[in-house]
Amino acid sequence: MQTSRDNHPPVLFYGVPSGCSFGSIVALEWLGLPYHLCRIEMPGVVSSDAYKRINAVGETPTLRTAAGDFISESIAILNHIGASDLDRGIAFAQGTPGFDRLNQMLAYLNTSLFDAYAPFWYTLEHELDPSDKKVLTDYGQAKVLKAHTDLEAMVGEKPWLLGEHRTLADAYFIGIARWNEYHQVVDRREYPNLQRIYDQLEADPAVVFAHAIERQQPPIGAVGLIGHIALEEVLEQVLSAK
Ligand SMILES: N[C@@H](CCC(=O)N[C@@H](CS)C(=O)NCC(=O)O)C(=O)O
């Protein structure tokens, strides 16, 4: 969907509580370019007709780009954000080996790691028979365990997920990996490389900032955030641009 070709700072529509959009907030802060945030409560507002005007499937995140386009899907959003300043080293030019490795890791995190937790979110949000709940959580447990084992081996002793410096993959990873704190599926300390990267990220100012945003605490040290904007305001802009 397009609104106007005016160049406005991008708007990230992030989901609370604990949305996977967390990584996109971190990535925006790492880049330091100006942006707005729009807070979307889940499952209420995210599934409303109003929100579905900008995201047909009713999920967060969504990004309104500087050109006024709305894009969804974390990988597309992260790649868009990263491409706005390749000099920061958190993303790579398409067609390079770096881009391929990053895209591979993002896809892995977005499917295998993200999906592994889906049964736990489902059991949290739905009334289920104990036997149905057990089938789902057993399935989820096996998937989370496998994803952690595989990722631990993939990462090895590299300082960050892809190598010597942090990338969009690390930003996305922390937003998903922290789900283990709610569901307590694995003991991450049994995966020392993942635990090390997790601890590094938790100490990162942009990650501390993103937690504060989600918890509605005063954010300390915003690098790029201009402020929050309401969904209604964005929709009015969409209408007036037609
Ligand atoms: N494939 C999408 C998945 C997005 C997704 O599932 N978002 C969740 C939050 S992590 C959501 O909006 N759920 C709606 C709800 O819980 O009602 C992506 O990677 O962006």
Read off the pLDDT of residues 211-231 as tens digits, 9 standing for 90 and up: 999 999 988 888 999 999 999
Q: Are residues 26 and 55 in the same domain?
A: yes
For residue 3, pLDDT beyond 50: no
| Closest ligand 1 atom to Cα of 20 | 10
| Residue-wise pLDDT tens digits, 114-152 | 999 999 999 998 999 999 999 999 999 999 999 999 999
Q: Which residues line ligand 1 (CB under 6 A)?
A: 15, 19-20, 42-43, 46-47, 59-61, 73-74, 110
Q: Are residues 36 and 106 in the same domain?
A: no
Q: What is the CATH number of the domain that holds 151?
A: 1.20.1050.10
Instruction: Establish if 5 belongs to a structural domain.
Output: no
CA of 3 to the centre of ligand 1 (A): 23
Q: What is the pLDDT of residue 6?
A: 57
Q: Are residues 106 and 189 in the same domain?
A: yes
Instruction: Establish if 2 belongs to a structural domain.
Output: no
Nearest protein CA to atom 17 of ligand 1, as residue = 43
Nearest protein CA to atom 15 of ligand 1, as residue = 43
Residues 6+ apart with CB under 8 A from 161: 105, 155, 167, 169, 170, 173, 197
| Closest ligand 1 atom to Cα of 72 | 20
CA of 30 to the centre of ligand 1 (A): 22
Q: Are residues 108 and 191 in the same domain?
A: yes
Q: Are residues 121 and 180 in the same domain?
A: yes
Residue numbers of the domain that contains 157 = 97-204
CA of 150 to the centre of ligand 1 (A): 23
Q: Do the strands 11-16 and 225-228 form a parallel or antiparallel pair, or are they unpaired?
A: unpaired
pLDDT above 90 covers a percentage of the chain that reads 91
Q: What is the pLDDT of residue 238?
A: 85
Total number of domains constituting the chain = 2
Across the range 190-203, mean pLDDT stands at 98
Q: What is the CATH number of the domain that holds 219?
A: 3.40.30.10
Pick 36 or 221 by higher pLDDT: 36
Reported as a pLDDT band with limits 50, 70 and 90, residue 24 is very high
Reported as a pLDDT band with limits 50, 70 and 90, residue 7 is confident
Nearest protein CA to atom 13 of ligand 1, as residue = 59
Strand order across the 35-41 sheet: 70-72, 62-64, 11-16, 35-41, 225-228
CA of 124 to the centre of ligand 1 (A): 15
Q: Are residues 116 and 195 in the same domain?
A: yes
Handedness of CA 60, 77, 38, 223 (dihedral sign): positive
Nearest protein CA to atom 11 of ligand 1, as residue = 59
Instruction: Establish if 72 belongs to a structural domain.
Output: yes
CA of 74 to the centre of ligand 1 (A): 9
For residue 192, pLDDT beyond 50: yes
Residues 6+ apart with CB under 8 A from 26: 171, 174, 175, 204, 206, 207, 209, 210
Q: Are residues 139 and 74 in the same domain?
A: no
Let me know if 136 is exposed, middle or buried by CB neighbors in 10 A (0-12, 13-18, 19+).
middle
CA of 62 to the centre of ligand 1 (A): 10
| Residue-wise pLDDT tens digits, 74-121 | 999 999 999 999 999 999 999 999 999 999 999 999 999 999 999 999
Instruction: Establish if 36 belongs to a structural domain.
Output: yes
Instruction: Establish if 57 belongs to a structural domain.
Output: yes
Q: Are residues 168 and 222 in the same domain?
A: no
Q: What is the pLDDT of residue 206?
A: 97
Residues 6+ apart with CB under 8 A from 31: 81, 82, 84, 85, 88, 90, 224
Instruction: Establish if 59 belongs to a structural domain.
Output: yes
Q: Are residues 129 and 53 in the same domain?
A: no
Q: Are residues 83 and 144 in the same domain?
A: no
Pocket test for ligand 1, best of 13, 20, 54 (most atoms within 8 A of CB): 20
Q: Are residues 131 and 34 in the same domain?
A: no
- The pair of structure tokens assigned to 23 is 């990584």
Instruction: Establish if 19 belongs to a structural domain.
Output: yes
| Closest ligand 1 atom to Cα of 40 | 12
Across the range 201-217, mean pLDDT stands at 97
Instruction: Establish if 224 belongs to a structural domain.
Output: yes
Helix 74-83 to helix 22-31 angle (10° resolution) is 0
Q: Are residues 104 and 188 in the same domain?
A: yes
| Residue-wise pLDDT tens digits, 170-187 | 999 999 999 999 999 999
CA of 85 to the centre of ligand 1 (A): 26
Reported as a pLDDT band with limits 50, 70 and 90, residue 2 is very low
